[in-house]
Structures are given as C-alpha cells and as structure tokens.
C-alpha cells in the first residue's frame, strides 16, 4: 500500500490533503457528509481579532472553470472561534488544526496569533497577508517584502508554534516576498491565495460583485499556482503548502512535484462537499499508477526529474 503520509514542521499528516481556509467553514459542517478525520488537517475559516460581517452582496460570480469571491473575511472573531467553533469541531476531528489569521495592523496579527498559539489543538498558525477582498489590511501586507517581513517577525516573536505565511499571487515577483518571510523567521509558506478578477453583467452594465473585483479561484488557476510554487521552491528552504485549482489526486501529485510538501483544496469544496474525501480515496491508486511508493519523496521532484 503506498505511503500517503507527509510532514509539516514536525507534524505528521496521514495524507497531504487539507481543506483550504474559507471553503470548509469550521470543519464540523462537513461531518454530516463523511468522516472528516480522514483529512490530513483543516485550515480554519479566516479569523480576525474582532467579528466581521464581510463585504456587501452579491459576493460571488461564476467564471469558466472557477469562481470569483469577495466574501471579505466574514467571521465571528477570534474569541468566538476559540471558545465555540474549535470545541465543536473537536467533537468530530481529533487531529492538529491550522489556524488562519488575518489582521488590519501588525498588532492585530500578533494579538490574534497569541490567542490561537494557546489553543492545544492548533498545530500551525497560517498568517494570511494575502486576502484581496478587504481594504487596509490583508493583501496590503503581502505585496511588499518589507511589510511581509515585518508581520512575520512580529508574529514569530510572540508565539511558539510554527508560523506559515500565506502569500499573494498579485505581485510582480512572489519569490522576493517568499525570501523576505523566510529571512524574517517563517517556518513555512502557504501559496497561492486567489488572483484578482472581475465579471461585468451585460444587462446592468455593472460589475457582478458588489466589491467590483474579487479573488479568482478554481481549476483555471492551477497552472499559475504550479508555476509560482515551482519558482518559490527554488528560492527558499522552508516547506510549502501548495494550493490553487486542485480538484483531483493527479493535481495533488503535480503540485507536490512542483515543490509542495502538502496541499490545500479550496474551490472544489464549494462545488462538491465530498471533494477532499474523494481526492484522498483516489491518492493510493493514482500513486500506484505513477509508480510512487512514498508520497513525501516526490516533493520538488519536477526540479530534477525524479
């Protein structure tokens, strides 16, 4: 039987498949469809220090092979996630979690990270400096190497758990940002977040999304995500969680060959709530088809043809 296990900063995952933040709620919602303990981990819905209602509606626009969203980090706030949502999830999911944290200032990132650092079930802190759907925070930190490094240093100095920085693809050179956060102490990188896009309603002649533009995701962005993961793998020495358009087991293998140590599945969950389950079920057979015995051995294999 092929070995699907992988490791992230000393944490062993049964498989590399992680539902991406914002597409899987707080996890327990999906337990009525299947046993979510088969997942490698779960990246929790993006959380800010204070509750957020999010952006005005409509927030979603369809595109060929994907969608555009502008949810705007709607969440109940860190205290409610820690006090209510994680305990509820713990009744059905027993593995280490990834806490996805956003902020509108360095101090907010630090305060929120400290709160989640104290939660026993949280194994990794995923610092989102790349959300394209909020103003005055999120992506504004992720498009500057200096700002990205500033957030990374501040969070690392305040917590004890591994810190993964979620990078934005909406930059000229993503490798520059990756090197900056590595030099500032990041334990790993998550990439990529959504790409900015928009649709226009031909009848109203207005943007479909109330926020005018939003984050584009789905199978259409897989080649872009692969290219960026490939480039960043050659630029840093820390683990990468790769994401962007993954919808089947073959995509997982392709992303790992590009340089990912694990993957996150996003938009596919919005199309099919059992997407992650089915990908995990497909993995052993797909590995055998390509002669892969141990999945962790293929990370970065595309760089040397192995």
Asked if 262 and 6 count as a contact pair (C-beta separation under 8 A), the reply is yes
CA distances to 15, 113, 165, 247, 252 from 222, in Å? 20, 30, 20, 9, 11
Q: Which positions are catalytic? A: 131
**Residue 112 phi, psi dihedral angles, 5° rounding:** -65, -40
More confident: 215 or 96: 96
| Per-residue pLDDT reduced to its tens digit, 215-242 | 899 999 999 999 999 999 999 999 999 9
Domains of the chain: 6-303 (3.20.20.70)
pLDDT, tens only, 107-147: 999 999 999 999 999 999 999 996 544 444 445 577 889 99
Token look-up 């692969």 returns 226
> How does the average pLDDT of the chain come out, rounded?
94
pTM of the model: 0.95
CA distances from 194 to 66, 172, 218, 286 (A): 11, 15, 9, 27
> What's the rounded Cα separation, in Å, for the pair 150 and 141?
9
What percent of the chain shows pLDDT beyond 70?
A: 96
Distances (CA, A) of 66 to 198, 215, 233, 267, 269: 12, 10, 26, 7, 12
- Whether residue 306 is predicted with pLDDT greater than 80 in this model: the reply is no
How do residues 25-61 score in pLDDT, each as one tens digit?
Answer: 999 999 999 999 999 999 999 999 999 988 888 998 9
Alpha-helical segments (H) within 144-183: 145-156, 174-183
Residue 83, token pair as written in the block: 């006090």
């Amino acid at each position: 039987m092929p070995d699907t296990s992988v490791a992230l900063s000393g944490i062993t995952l049964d498989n590399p498949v992680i539902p991406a933040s914002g597409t899987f709620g707080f996890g327990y919602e999906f337990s009525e469809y299947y046993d979510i303990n088969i997942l490698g981990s779960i990246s929790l819905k993006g959380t800010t220090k204070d509750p957020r209602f999010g952006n005005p509606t409509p927030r979603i626009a369809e595109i060929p092979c994907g969608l555009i969203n502008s949810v705007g980090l709607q969440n109940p706030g860190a205290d409610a996630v820690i006090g209510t949502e994680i305990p509820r999830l713990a009744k059905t999911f027993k593995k280490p979690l990834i806490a996805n944290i956003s902020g509108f200032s360095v101090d907010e990132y630090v305060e929120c990270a400290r709160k989640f650092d104290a939660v026993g079930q949280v194994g990794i802190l995923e610092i989102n400096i790349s959300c394209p759907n909020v103003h005055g925070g999120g992506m504004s930190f992720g498009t500057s190497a200096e700002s990205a490094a500033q957030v990374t240093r501040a969070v690392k100095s305040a917590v004890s758990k591994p810190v993964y920085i979620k990078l934005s693809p909406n930059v000229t050179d993503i490798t520059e940002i990756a090197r900056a956060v590595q030099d500032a102490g990041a334990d790993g990188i998550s990439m990529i977040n959504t790409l900015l896009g928009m649709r226009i309603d031909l009848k109203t002649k207005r943007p479909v999304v109330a926020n005018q533009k939003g984050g584009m995701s789905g199978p259409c962005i897989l080649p872009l995500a692969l290219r960026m993961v490939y480039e960043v793998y050659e630029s840093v020495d820390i683990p990468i969680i790769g994401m962007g358009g993954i919808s089947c087991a073959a995509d997982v293998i392709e992303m790992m060959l590009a340089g990912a140590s694990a993957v996150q599945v996003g938009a596919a969950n919005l199309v099919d709530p059992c997407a992650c389950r089915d990908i995990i079920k497909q993995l052993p057979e797909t590995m055998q088809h390509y002669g892969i015995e141990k999945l962790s051995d293929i990370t970065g294999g595309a760089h040397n043809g192995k």
